[in-house]
């Protein structure tokens, strides 16, 4: 199981992006969390099988209809806690 930290930039707050990410995580059997950052970006910690993670990330690039994704950064996340579900954090 791999772990990624994903940072999404653009118009991604106030457009349902966290709930979109949660829905996609359920589809692809991803655990972890999503949260808004104070600077307007969204952060995701995602754990799952590599193929599922890549499909998940592909959909994160698209986002919900109202979102505009300017950039998405992903990096392997070493030492992440083990999650049992995917949640929205505040």
pLDDT (tens digit, 9 = 90+) per residue, 39-52? 999 999 999 999 99
pTM, two decimal places: 0.95
Which token pair is 1?
Answer: 């199981």
User: What tens digit of pLDDT does each residue of 7-45 get?
Assistant: 999 999 999 999 999 999 999 999 999 999 999 999 999
Say if CB 44 and CB 59 are below 8 A apart.
no
pLDDT at 81 over 90: no
Say if CB 6 and CB 37 are below 8 A apart.
no
Active site residues: 18, 36
Question: How many C-alpha atoms does 37 have within 13 Å on its Cβ side?
Answer: 14
Which token pair is 81?
Answer: 């806690």
Which token pair is 30?
Answer: 């991803």
pLDDT at 5 over 90: yes
- Domains belonging to the chain, first-starting first, are 2-79 (3.30.70.100)
DSSP H or E run through 83: none
């Amino acid at each position: 199981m791999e772990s990624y930290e994903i940072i999404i930039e653009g118009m991604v707050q106030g457009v349902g992006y966290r709930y979109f990410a949660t829905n996609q995580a359920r589809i692809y059997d991803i655990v972890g969390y999503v949260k808004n950052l104070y600077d307007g970006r969204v952060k995701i910690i995602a754990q799952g099988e590599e193929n599922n993670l890549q499909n998940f990330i592909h959909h994160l690039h698209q986002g919900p209809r109202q979102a505009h994704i300017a950039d998405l950064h992903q990096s392997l996340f070493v030492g992440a806690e083990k999650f049992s579900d995917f949640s929205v954090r505040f």
